[in-house]
Amino acid sequence: MAESKSKVLIIGATGYIGAYLVRASIKLGHPSFILVRSPTPSDPAKAHLIKSFQDSGVTVLKGDVDDHESLVAALRQVDVVISSVNAGAVASQVKILEAAKETGTIKRFIPSEFGNDVDRLENDFKILEGVYQTKRSVRREIEKSGIPYTLVISGGFAGYFAPNLASSNVSAPPRDKVTIWADGTTKAILNTEEDIATYTIKSVDDPRAANKNLHIRPEENVLSQGELVGLWEKKIGHTLEKILVSGEELKKIIDETPFPANILYAILYSVFIKGDQTSFQLNGKDVEATELYPDVHYTTVSTYLDQFV
């Protein structure tokens, strides 16, 4: 008899990556739960999203990370907890850990990472250091808790970086000119949000991913900004004008741009100039998603760009 799949609770389900995680959990056959402050929020978009989850068989649990009793009650109903809280709520994940320790039944905790590996980068900008330090602190608490965990290191969201060719001032792939950071040769990692969610859910019952960093590095999605632009140029049949912006020039832009708009520029510097996503080799603490789950047919960046042609 096939082993039953874990019951998965997603906290932050109405957020950007959270909605993808819920859909992936449903698709992969897990009994799926979400934690919400209100099943009928005043925000119409969130209310519609929650209703769509319910219609798909998701169990909606009323509760709040800041309400310990409701959090414990929710965790008692599931086996796995996935947090996709936003950057401002990262520190609150310690409260999830406390509730998980009280229940004593959580088989896997996946915190809100879904980006760069904060233990392997040196930050250049104060505007990012607070989030990075908080994530590191939460990681250490997770390690001390004794609760099995998986840290999902997804690289960049294709939805953020591919449509604008990793530029900063356009919302669709440009057809005349594009900003290139430094010389455009630094390698980055871009994955679709659907694939990130799929690999995350695939890992929840996998002992190979327990207490590991799950890196999502599909070979065809490890590419430089220059290669990204080249893919687009081939699709539209002509060459774009390249406006080169050096690292020093980008630092000046970061200094002169008001918060929070300067956060995006700092991330662009980290990813497309410093190479913080690809400047290290995987080791014994790491596993790679496409190697663990070769059955997942991931979307390449090239295929992703086809929708904009």
**What residues are labeled active site?**
135
Nearest of 109, 22, 35, 40 to residue 73 by alpha carbon: 35
In whole angstroms, give the CA distance from residue 210 to residue 204: 8
CA 183 → CA 219, 224, 261, distances in Å? Answer: 22, 10, 23
Cis peptide leading into 260, omega within 30 of 0?
Answer: yes
Q: How far apart are the first and last CA of the chain?
A: 47
- 62 φ/ψ angles, rounded to the nearest 5 degrees: -85, 125
In whole angstroms, give the CA distance from residue 224 to residue 287: 23
Residue 236: Cβ within 10 Å count = 14
Nearest of 245, 230, 238, 218 to residue 158 by alpha carbon: 218
- Residue 189, strand partner residues: 222
